[in-house]
Amino acid sequence: MGSNGKPLIRLEGIKKVFYTDEVETHALSDVHLDIREGEYLAIAGPSGCGKTTLLSLLGLLDSPTGGEYFLADESVARLDASQRAYIRNRQIGFIFQAFNLIGDLTVYENVELPLTYRKMPTAERKERVHAALERVGMAHRVKHYPAQLSGGQQQRVAVARAIAGKPAILLADEPTGNLDSKNGESVMGLLKELHGEGSTICMVTHDPRYAEHAERSVHLFDGRIVRDESSEAAKELHESGFEHIE
């Protein structure tokens, strides 16, 4: 499904160091990664290996300590805060483990909110919101509030919010982490369908079963990429019992 053109995202020698009380924590070290348009990539690895830090950098929620990040051939380092916010709103869709829905807004209003920042005409917003909710099977819940929904339903609304803006890339951080296995598989199926329709998806997961849904898996360990392989190779490795790198 991935295209053969230039990478949508290119990371060159990315480092991220956190400084606290004179202690240096190297969250990412010399990360090189290309993500092509239309690709479905899983970032896998044990807890604390740097997965969420990497996703935060990809989503322009944080900046690297060193190295270069190119998004659609543009160096991200040259962007100021307002330009970064502009790109986050238009080119990047986020799906979080904790759903991050706003409790006193309806399902419709939660999905609509990011679009209001674009000064998009009301008619176009309405069309986008309804299409996104229809896509995730939640169009019948537009007037409900998050507290009236199950965890699986809330995550579907979160997916709708992410895709309503038609982003260049969807970033999903442990999107099944707060769901039971049935709802988890349902959300994974939804992501696979979106990929089949041309979406570029980058998903963080610690669960090898969910990593297998992607067409390619990058494995992080102690802030470094230790393996980069197709999902078929990952599946064979997992089934053979050699999936952990210690």
The percent of residues above 70 in pLDDT, for the chain, comes to 91
pLDDT tens-place string over residues 104-114: 999 999 999 99
Q: What is the pLDDT of residue 3?
A: 47
Residue range 43-64: average pLDDT? Answer: 92
Q: How confident is the model over 168-205, as pLDDT tens digits?
A: 999 999 999 999 989 999 999 999 999 999 999 999 99
The Cβ of residue 229 has, within 10 Å, a number of other Cβ atoms equal to 14
Backbone angles phi, psi at 157, to 5 degrees: -65, -40
Pairing outcome for strands 92-96 and 66-71:
unpaired
* Residue 76 token pair: 């991200």
d(CA 23, CA 13): 22
What confidence score (pLDDT) does residue 6 get?
76
CA distance 81 to 123: 30
pLDDT category at 21 given cuts 50, 70, 90 is confident
- Crossing angle between the packed helical segments 181-196 and 151-164, to the nearest 10 degrees: 20
Question: Which pLDDT does position 240 carry in this prediction?
Answer: 55
Q: pLDDT averaged over the chain?
A: 89
β-sheet with 23-36: strand ranges across: 23-36, 7-20, 66-71, 74-75
* Between residues 130 and 5, the one the model is more confident about: 130
53 pLDDT exceeds 60? Answer: yes
Per the rule left: phi > 0, alpha: psi between -120 and 50, beta: everything else, 227 is beta
Query: Domain spanning 38-61+81-215+226-240 has what CATH number?
Result: 3.40.50.300
CA 125 to chain centre: 23
Residue 236 CA to its chain's centroid (Å): 25
pLDDT surpasses 50 at 246: no
Please state, in angstroms and rounded to a whole number, the distance separating the CA atoms of residues 18 and 26: 7
pLDDT of 92 higher than 60: yes
- 3-class DSSP state of 161: helix
